[in-house]
Chain A
Amino acid sequence: MKLLPTAIDWRAPRTIVAIVVIATFALLPVLVGDEGGFYVKFATRVLIYALAAIGLNFILGFGGMVSFGHAMYVMLGAYCVAIPAQHEITSGWAHIAIALAMTTVIAAGAGAVALRTTGIAFIMITLAFAQMLFFGAVSLKEYGGDDGLTLATRSNFALFDISSNAGLYYFAFVCVLVALYLSWRAVLSPFGLILRGSKANTRRALALGHPVFRYQLVAYVLSALACAVAGVLLANLTQFASPAYGAWTLSGELIVIVILGGLGTVFGPLVGAVLLLALEEVLPTLVEATLPDYKSNWMLLLGLFIFFIALALKRGVFGSLRGGKQ
């Protein structure tokens, strides 16, 4: 698998980019100082999106399962904070535990049905599940329906204090690092090898004796869990949970992040998240500075940018950099 170097080459552009990105994130709160609370929050959002994208990439990039419904797990995670909080349960560990448990159950069920199909049908059936959950949340009148639910305070993690912005930031940062490391290990492990092999040729994998369905289901649930944690964090960041977090547009955005960063690379999703969200932030300002009348049309540029990236780079931004030794 040429996309995946077997050993790290410290001088390869990919490694350098990865180190620079990680280091920047690590130092960001220090760099921007007290005045930069906004940037810290923005970076937290980037990390949260990255975490969800890392989860999605695990099945999309490595397993070939294009889920168009992963936002539903983000939404689920968010509601697993907001609803217990409504009932005075504020422990963050409890929120995470509930989110993980709920997600495991739902993802196992949805995955088991969805994985009966492949390709485009899989895309659509995952979308279908997400839409059902979305409309389900919209009809939750006692929990705000589509107006959503506000959180009085952030979750209470005994060891980590996330009530400050920097605290939440570092918590998210640690989650992303852990997710990156775990997916790096998993992808190179026999499990990952078989998962990738099943993507490349399912028929052969089966004939070799691999229970492909089980591998895929496990991968699907794992990836959903990452998204659920992202949802927990998002609810804490915005102090809000709403069906909008499960809208198909967010599922689409996650896919875009993964592809933009570089499909089937471990680090790509983080780069993709940084790029997409930074563009959404910078472009309006840029357009305003040059063509003030057209500020609200900045999405035109974003669209063009995404289009040309897809056209020019075969493996996304990070994926197109040279990797380590083959």
Chain B
Amino acid sequence: MTALVTENLVKRFGGVQATDNVSLTVEDGQLHAIIGPNGAGKSTLIGQIAGEIAPDSGHVALLGKDVTTLSVFARANLGLARTYQITQLAKEFTALDNVLMATNARASHNFSFWKNAHDDSDAVSHSLAALAKVGLLDAKNRTVAELAHGEQRQLEIAMALATGPKVLLLDEPLAGMSQGESAAMIALLKSLKGRYPILLVEHDMDAVFSLADRISVLVYGRIIASGTPEEIRNNVEVRAAYLGEEATA
């Protein structure tokens, strides 16, 4: 089954054509990477898929269902999880509470007033596992404000994983991570790959080329090329618009 389809998405901001007729598909189990210059519209595209930004026209289908008019949380409840390019966390919460909040989203609503959220051992162990995956287990009781920038980026991903997603949207998961953490994160993504369909936006070309099954290149809101990593690496247009020298390295 196709996990995710966008059809002719269009979005303008005043004079800026941020998304220009974007159609793409993410097949089940596939890692589809989107690359493109800054301001090409990658985050805007993710926003439209997640439901935060309403497209001017076009459709989004998730797991075979048209979700164009659904709200953000309804899409999330269908199994869509995302990370943000610019960290979005509950600042005064501990790392664990942040993930716990995500874990609690697995049930589509949670109007439980009585039991202590920390007494739910299932949820807690699930959350701890998510923290462990990104290497943040030691930081579980620190509040977000006390985490270094890179650690916050890791937490960002732990939260998306903890919701038990069916489709993952990752907006620059490696941004802000040091080389060491990047390597660990690439390994993690590799292990996730195949299990979840993933739409990945990333500027780290080493990561993109080693992870992606398919790459689409977005320039000025338009997909100018789409294909296997090899095809993209050798595409002249892409090299001129985006990759520059790096592809040869």
Measured CB to CB, the residues of A under 8 A from B are 1-3, 6, 182, 185-186, 188-194, 196-197, 200-201, 203-212, 214-215, 218, 326
Contacts and interface: CB of A to CB of B under 8 A. Distances in A.
Contacts of A326: 141
B113 A185 contact: yes
A191 B100 CA distance: 12
Nearest to B159: A208
B40 interface: no
A186 B89 CA distance: 22
B105 A210 contact: yes
A208 B80 CA distance: 8
B101 A193 contact: yes
Contacts of A201: 88-91
A267 B74 CA distance: 35
Nearest to B82: A207
B163 interface: yes
A207 B143 contact: no
A209 B73 contact: yes
Going nearest first, the 3 A-B pairs with the smallest beta carbon separation are A209-B76, A200-B90, A209-B105
Contacts of A191: 110-113
Given A207-B72, A208-B101, A218-B111, A188 B116 contact: yes
Given A189-B117, A197-B101, A209-B108, A204 B88 contact: yes
B85 interface: no
Contact of A207 (B76, B93, B111, B141): B76
Contacts of A204: 84, 88-90, 159
B164 to A, nearest CB: 10
A194 B101 contact: yes
A193 B124 CA distance: 13
16 contacts: A2-B143, A188-B118, A189-B116, A191-B110, A191-B112, A193-B100, A200-B92, A204-B84, A204-B89, A204-B90, A206-B76, A207-B82, A208-B101, A210-B76, A210-B104, A210-B105
Given A1-B92, A197-B90, A200-B90, A189 B76 contact: no
A182 B163 CA distance: 28
Given A190-B112, A206-B72, A208-B101, 11 more contacts: A185-B113, A193-B100, A193-B104, A194-B104, A200-B93, A204-B88, A206-B71, A206-B76, A207-B73, A210-B105, A210-B110
Nearest to A2: B143
B7 interface: no
Given A201-B89, A204-B88, A189 B109 contact: no
